Structure 1
Amino acid sequence: MKRTPFLNFLALFLLNIPLSISFNANAAPPIVTKHTKADGGKLVGKIVESPGNVGVSFATIALLASKDSSLASGSVADENGAFSIANVTPGKYVLRVTNMGYQTLFVPNINVSAEANLLDLGNITILPEAQKLNEVIVKGEKSMIVDDIDKKIVNIGKDMLATSNNVSDLLEKVPAVSLDENGNPQVRGKGNVVVLIDGKPSNLYGSDLPTILQSFPANLIERIDVMTTPSAKYEGEGASGVIDIITKKTKIRGTNGGLRASLGSKNNHNASGNISYRLGKVGVNASLSGQTRNMTWKRNLSRDNFISENTSHLEQTGTGGNKGKNAFGRIGVNYDINDKNSLEVGVNYSRDQSRNNSNLLNETSFSSGNATEKFNRLNNSKGNGENLNFNLDYRKKFDDKDHQLTFTSSYSLGESDGESYYNQESEIDSLMRNQQNLRDNKRHSLFLNSDYTWPITKKATLEVGLRSRMSANDNTNSFYNMSKETGSYVFDPNISNVFGYKDATYTGFMTFSQKTDLWGMRAGLRVTDYNQDINQISINRAFNVHFLTLVPSLALTRKLGETAQLKLNYSRRVQRPEADWLNPYTDVSDPRNIQSGNPSLKPEFTHKAEMGYSNYEASGGWGPSLFMDYSNNAITRIRTIDETGISLTQFANVGRELSYGLETDFSQTLFEVLKINGSGRVYRSEVVSQVAQIDNRTWSYSGNLNAFVTLPADFKASAYINYEGPRAIAQGTREGVFVANMGIRKELLEKKATLSFNVQDIFLSRAYKSQLNTATYSQNSLWQQTNRLVNLTFQYRFGKISASGGDDA
């Protein structure tokens, strides 16, 4: 790959926060020993946890003066928990012990006399943060929505988990987020969303995002961050925004885990299990999940073609089904080298199988009176894919709070293959055909990232980072037509394709944050050097694309009280063409509506601005805002018709897209038995292109609502509704989509288990309709899922200690 010079950044390499507080009156009596040391007394002891009095590594010990709690001295325990504090002036003290994952502990009444210079405190027992004495404490759930300076944080609680099998189910319950007909996330009803998993690109886990999201068990997720105007720290891609899915991390000692099994209608089943264990400096977590999927659908298309004098009308009616199986497994090990350095390694593996079939009836009539062309096209396809991902992360903490250096790396490799067989039946001999399509894809990618956070003062922070991502993709699509003479398949070079794709992205960013009692500010700049090599091997054509982009961001906040604030945000975004959008392979699975990539695509640039108010407390709150998105050189699908009435759909750069409106999200607990959350928006959307003769403008509205109700006998019911209103697309209008789900659950076995019953798409209303109108054709189309999903799910949680951010057993 062609390399170009890039900016060189110099990273400056220049703790503990008490999580809960307890007093210990049960420390062993101190052993006093005469000592002749003239320069002060000495304290020794050992920090342990029960059972077994196991030493706790690297606990922080502070010696406080009894009279005013000022810091007199301190130390850090060694890897076995032993500590010593020398040169202690005679007097009365309190010993404070802190360590990540444990309650802060105070040992009072420590007397250091002038005569007895060595004081052995013996074993000092500290308790995990979720445990007090011998009880398990169930933590209160966090506020569902937290409004940060440049993102909305949605904490995943028990209510959301009980009605969600996977990450796709969770995303539908997140304010402002929805899924399109293929399962890809949308923000404010629009695609082009970057999805990260723990800050890393989701494509490291596989090539098909909907499959990745369906494979990830919901109970592994701690929170979901939604950024509609992301700061320069995050990916510059994603015209609609960034979604970062944060998984649970085990920070405290103990064992915890869970099992989940779900039986669903029409063979939609899934099962998963996860376990985490931590002792001393080492923590291990592992999970495994499997799923079977079965979806049926129908589609209709009606099109009038008037590109020539002999106008024609196409009518299509189709049905089909998609079946699939997938498995996902992950294992991770984290190791605390000492109190300031930690290391984590992990491996993820996924495998997917799909089996699809469809039946598409085509009927074309002509105004000239020519005979109607009618044929039925049968399709049977199957595919297999697998992906392997390795992660290595390092974190270094410095003495002052929030001062840290992180390094993350990830390497991923995967491959997929598939084959499709088309049998076209017709009474017209020229329309009869049998075809075969064989597909093969191999890919690998490397991701490297380093972030340095420096709290310059208590209220000012500088963060800098370097990031590089390199990937390679090799696609082979071979198409064959069956010879009527020999009955064997003959290779068709006209629609076959061998496509090679490589890209390399080198990025540096810097953000500066400043806070006062009333004001907050975060400004940033992201610089990206992007190289793209495209090789159309089948036609011996190769070319390189290179560009440099600047992505600035700015966020301002003004406090109006303890929880209320005003916000003003701006961010510039870039949408670079994806490999599938560029691949010129022609998909003829529907011979009347073919699709192809466009290797001439250019990047799309978007300016995003928001101004809003938010007020969130533990019981709930709301956050209304005004927003505007303006895209230049916008990438969208364009459909053209040739004189035979066949359409070609490609991604293309059109003129501009503009969207502006009012949005609000909210969450609230009412009467202690009802929790609601959701979002709603009213907005104007415009798509304009003088070159393509497009001028489409509409007002639209959308919203979603989640409700969780506590019923007698410890039952809980839930309901979810989502409506995406009509909106303008490049050549017409996408009609509104309504979805409703509901469920009921009961906790069992002293709240260690949950049994739930859920129904998705109650009214079978998940129908996607569009209307296209141009100078050469007019078209109405429908795609709709036709099977309602009903499932019964049992979950069991075990362990006395909860994972960070998770639900307690």
Structure 2
Amino acid sequence: MPALNALSAEKSIYADGGKLVGKIVESPNNTGVSFATIALLTVKDSAVVQGSIADLDGIFNVPNVKPGNYILRVTNLGYQTLYVANVRVATEANLVDLGTLTITSEAQKLSEVTITAEKSMIVDDIDKKIVTIGQDMLAASNNVSDLLEKLPAVSLDENGNPQLRGKGNVVVLIDGKPSNLYGSDLPTILQSFPANLIERIEVMTTPSAKYEGEGASGVIDIITKKVKIRGTNGGVRLSLGNTNTHAGSANVSYKAGKFGLNSSVSGQMGDKYWERTLDRENFVSETPTFLKQAGSGDNGNKNAFGRIGMNYDFNEKNTIEVGANYSRYKNESYSDLLNRTTFENGTVKEEFTRINKGNGDGGNMNFSFDYRKKFDKKDQLFSFTANYSMGVSDGESYFDQESNIDSLDRHQQNLRNNNRNSLFLNTDYTWPITKKATLEVGVRSRFNSNDNTNAFYSLNSENQEFEFNSRLSNIFAYQDETYTGFVTFSQKTGKWGIRTGLRITDYNQDINQISSNRQFGVHFLTLVPSLAITRKLSDISQLKLNYSRRVQRPEADWLNPFTDLSDPRNVQTGNPNLKPEFTHKAELGYSSYETNGGWGPSLFMDYSDNAITRIRTIDENGTSLSRYDNVGKEMSYGLETDFNSTLWEILKINGSGRIFRSEVVSRMAQIDNRAWSYSGNLNAFIKLPMDFRASAYVNYEGPRAIAQGSRDGVFIANMGIRKDLMEKKATVSFNIQDVFLSRTYKSQLNTATYSQYSLWHQTNRLINISFNYRFGKISTRPANGA
């Protein structure tokens, strides 16, 4: 039996047993402790016989407890372990209420402690899945992009943008705030954030009205770690890899009395090599022609990220937090693309090689202010957040197009400049009307401005000087203003729970197409309702029914009528007549999660009317024109499940999978594509002798119907091995990403006027070795006001 320390408590329960219930709170504020781990131990040998995880409010249930005497153990990151001795469950009883159990922060412990959360966990809330990030995921993940691939229903496209259930248009938040406050390029932002700064990630496929109405596929909220304990803790990480892929990061947190400080820095670099092909048959002209593009290239990226945050607790009711972060990136690219057009008999009509060399750099600065106030009556909470972000990016590209045909031989330069500013204001008020009913209202305002210049210069063959080309240049500016209000109501009565809400958004956008001296604006007023109903079946299982309406408003680039001719055989333009796309999302799900595993199957359906889709047309010369359009209806429906399990105490597996049908139908565009498909991912972690652990990750996104054709399936496999050192304060790991070089994206388009096959393939696997060290020093001296 474990020795009971100074925090141990004894409770003799002669009660109504069979099921243990209670609430875990933190001393001295008596606030609920989220996700504390509860284990029931035998008195004889302290073996674990049953367990549970507390919910967001610290409430827990331990079901199916056999009659007898037990010890209850409560553990959580940053707190002293609490033992409750002499817990008795009588034969005739069916309920044991342990009441409120208080745990204390590690501030009273001496010397250094190792700050770890060994095992990742999934908690199914009423409208989201919450994945807490443990050391199992962190050991095989350098940044947030690596973490996202391991989550239920989440994958990344070829550019590193998150997808939910294989579809884009996902809103990504960081601590509840728009991710574009941290920069304009989402993949770069996700790769800049070190994985060990993340506490949990919330995945919402049918979000409530509290969250952004945009994002037809759903919302991902990335929650960073905060200072929870008094003292100092942090970590450093270094990763070295092939293809010049290296990364390093460090973070430290300090808490003394009312004051807390957290800071981090990170940097990484890497090269990505790829190959690309495109084969297109043109049926428009009287004599069919065939275009073949084939080439390769590489992208080299360097980025750095730093952040600092400070919080001050005036008292138990009032807290402020201020922060700033700065990011910087540089990239270099090279591509060599052969373009050959032939007739049906194989005769070459035209041929040229287009070489592109480019580079760019930019930076982003973000300032934030948060204020939280608790009221005495019924735990009412008021919060205010303000964020201001400013960024700049510059770049240049050089195009050398070489051909035996003089009219196709050309040399061009493109100089790019972008300046952007964003302001985000957020006010929330939470009012617990009763112990089981809560009303939450909020107001959001967001302002963005962007000045974008693409200046093209063409070489004059006579004087060998570059001259400004107004036909290829694009200079435009835009501003948008978003005003949002929402209200949600939640209530739990017995075994039933409900959360309903409504969000109203007024969106205004002004676009100034300076190149063509054209100005226009768009205005959208949208309503986003949501409804979630849950029914508890047992202490660890529940049913839930969710509905949410989502909206995808056209982005500025989609609306901008400028025609991009930088690829002369694949031209792109915007569509100022685009309308918003509305998506109805519904799910009926079951979940059952406990300490050693669980699963969460669900039936889902997404239906979009007026869907925004990229449409490609072709002219007699074989040149394609792409632009976004409201083509018609998109629908997907099927069965999905996530699962996790611990087997024989040495193997942990988690994953998700789905079988679904995708349909894209548009009479206007003469599209009718329907297909069944399947997708899924699997993570496995196994304990080996001598503190070694191995991990493997596989993901497969099955083929699906898209506008004008279909997309093939994509398979990805990663693996690694790690060893804990220095009493588990340090970890060294060896990882391989894309083991089989299978990250290949293929698509086929078939219309009455052309047939096209395209491929993009990453041609280098990533191999790296990483060292991670965690530290924590806890002070025994309480600060003033603590």
Give the alignment's TM-score, normalised by structure 2.
0.86
Structure 1 residue runs of 5 or longer lacking an equivalent are 1-19, 26-57, 63-99, 107-125, 803-809
Question: Which of residues 281, 290, 293 in structure 2 aligns to 1:313?
Answer: 290
Compared CA separation, residues 193 and 60, structure 1 to 2 (3 A): closer
Q: What per-residue deviation string (whole Å, max 9, x for no partner) do you get for residues 693-726 of structure 1? A: 1111111110000000001111000000000000
1:150 aligns with 2:127: yes
Instruction: Give the aligned residue type for 2:773.
Output: Y
Distance 2:236 2:283 in 1: 59
Aligned ranges 1:250-269 → 2 under 5 Å: 250-269=227-246
Compared CA separation, residues 710 and 773, structure 1 to 2 (3 A): same
1:421 aligns with 2:406: no
Query: Secondary structure in 2 aligned to 1:485?
Result: coil
1:706 aligns with 2:683: yes
Distance 1:190 1:708 in 2: 28
Alpha-carbon deviation of 1:519?
0.2
1:644 aligns with 2:629: no
**Residue in 1 aligned with 2:568?**
591
Distance 2:379 2:282 in 1: 63
1:366 aligns with 2:343: yes
Alpha-carbon deviation of 1:651?
1.5
**Residue in 2 aligned with 1:332?**
309
Mean Cα deviation higher: 536-545 or 305-314: 536-545
**Residue in 2 aligned with 1:231?**
208
- Contact 1:609–1:629, Cα closer than 8 Å, also in 2: yes
Query: Secondary structure in 2 aligned to 1:610?
Result: strand
Query: Secondary structure in 1 aligned to 2:196?
Result: helix
Q: Between Structure 1 and Structure 2, whose CA radius of gyration is higher?
A: 1
- Contact 1:130–1:138, Cα closer than 8 Å, also in 2: no
Aligned ranges 1:40-79 → 2 under 5 Å: none
Aligned ranges 1:95-106 → 2 under 5 Å: none
- Contact 1:686–1:698, Cα closer than 8 Å, also in 2: yes
Distance 1:365 1:571 in 2: 50
Distance 1:581 1:348 in 2: 30
1:22 aligns with 2:14: no
Aligned ranges 1:228-627 → 2 under 5 Å: 228-367=205-344, 371-399=348-376, 402-627=379-604
Distance 2:404 2:328 in 1: 42
- Contact 1:143–1:620, Cα closer than 8 Å, also in 2: no
Instruction: Give the aligned residue type for 1:633.
Output: N
1:200 aligns with 2:177: yes
Alpha-carbon deviation of 1:798?
1.0
Distance 1:500 1:175 in 2: 38
1:762 aligns with 2:739: yes
Instruction: Give the aligned residue type for 1:580.
Output: D
Alpha-carbon deviation of 1:142?
6.0
- Contact 2:114–2:728, Cα closer than 8 Å, also in 1: no
Instruction: Give the aligned residue type for 2:466.
Output: Y
Distance 2:323 2:679 in 1: 40
**Residue in 1 aligned with 2:608?**
631
Query: Secondary structure in 2 aligned to 1:310?
Result: coil
- Contact 2:425–2:444, Cα closer than 8 Å, also in 1: yes
- Contact 2:112–2:775, Cα closer than 8 Å, also in 1: no
Alpha-carbon deviation of 1:293?
1.5
Distance 1:346 1:582 in 2: 35
Query: Secondary structure in 2 aligned to 1:634?
Result: strand
Tell me how large the CA RMSD over aligned residues is. Answer: 2.3
Distance 1:150 1:364 in 2: 53
Compared CA separation, residues 275 and 133, structure 1 to 2 (3 A): closer
Alpha-carbon deviation of 1:367?
3.7
**Residue in 1 aligned with 2:775?**
798
Query: Secondary structure in 1 aligned to 2:470?
Result: coil
- Contact 2:78–2:228, Cα closer than 8 Å, also in 1: yes
- Contact 2:634–2:665, Cα closer than 8 Å, also in 1: yes
Aligned ranges 1:84-99 → 2 under 5 Å: none
Query: Secondary structure in 1 aligned to 2:768?
Result: strand
- Contact 2:209–2:486, Cα closer than 8 Å, also in 1: yes
Q: What per-residue deviation string (whole Å, max 9, x for no partner) do you get for residues 35-69 of structure 1? A: xxxxxxxxxxxxxxxxxxxxxxx95699xxxxxxx
**Residue in 2 aligned with 1:93?**
none
Instruction: Give the aligned residue type for 1:565.
Output: Q
Stretches (4+) displaced over 4 A: 58-62, 100-106, 130-143, 368-371
Compared CA separation, residues 146 and 102, structure 1 to 2 (3 A): closer
Query: Secondary structure in 1 aligned to 2:136?
Result: helix
1:177 aligns with 2:154: yes
Query: Secondary structure in 2 aligned to 1:212?
Result: helix
- Contact 1:143–1:619, Cα closer than 8 Å, also in 2: no
Distance 1:179 1:103 in 2: 39
Query: Secondary structure in 2 aligned to 1:713?
Result: coil
Q: What per-residue deviation string (whole Å, max 9, x for no partner) do you get for residues 669-704 of structure 1? A: 111001111100000100011111111111111000
- Contact 2:114–2:729, Cα closer than 8 Å, also in 1: no
Q: What per-residue deviation string (whole Å, max 9, x for no partner) do you get for residues 603-624 of structure 1? A: 1000000001000111110000
Compared CA separation, residues 573 and 748, structure 1 to 2 (3 A): same
**Residue in 2 aligned with 1:53?**
none
Question: Which of residues 778, 794, 800 in structure 1 aligns to 2:755?
Answer: 778
- Contact 2:733–2:770, Cα closer than 8 Å, also in 1: yes
Query: Secondary structure in 2 aligned to 1:643?
Result: coil
Q: What per-residue deviation string (whole Å, max 9, x for no partner) do you get for residues 377-436 of structure 1? A: 110000111000000000011235652111111000001111100001112222111011
Alpha-carbon deviation of 1:600?
2.2
Query: Secondary structure in 2 aligned to 1:267?
Result: coil
Question: Which of residues 604, 620, 642 in structure 2 aligns to 1:665?
Answer: 642
Distance 1:642 1:437 in 2: 26
Query: Secondary structure in 2 aligned to 1:633?
Result: strand
Alpha-carbon deviation of 1:585?
3.7
Compared CA separation, residues 599 and 287, structure 1 to 2 (3 A): same
Instruction: Give the aligned residue type for 2:486.
Output: F
Alpha-carbon deviation of 1:366?
2.0
Q: What per-residue deviation string (whole Å, max 9, x for no partner) do you get for residues 332-356 of structure 1? A: 0001111110000000100010000
Q: What per-residue deviation string (whole Å, max 9, x for no partner) do you get for residues 486-522 of structure 1? A: 1111111112111111111101100000101210000
Mean Cα deviation higher: 541-550 or 222-231: 541-550
Distance 2:151 2:752 in 1: 40
Distance 1:734 1:153 in 2: 30
Distance 2:699 2:116 in 1: 31
- Contact 1:143–1:617, Cα closer than 8 Å, also in 2: no
- Contact 1:21–1:104, Cα closer than 8 Å, also in 2: no
Compared CA separation, residues 61 and 343, structure 1 to 2 (3 A): closer
- Contact 1:584–1:598, Cα closer than 8 Å, also in 2: yes
Distance 1:540 1:135 in 2: 65
Give the alignment's TM-score, normalised by structure 1.
0.83
- Contact 1:676–1:705, Cα closer than 8 Å, also in 2: yes
Mean Cα deviation higher: 140-149 or 412-421: 140-149
Q: What per-residue deviation string (whole Å, max 9, x for no partner) do you get for residues 91-131 of structure 1? A: xxxxxxxxx9876999xxxxxxxxxxxxxxxxxxx963476
Alpha-carbon deviation of 1:588?
3.2
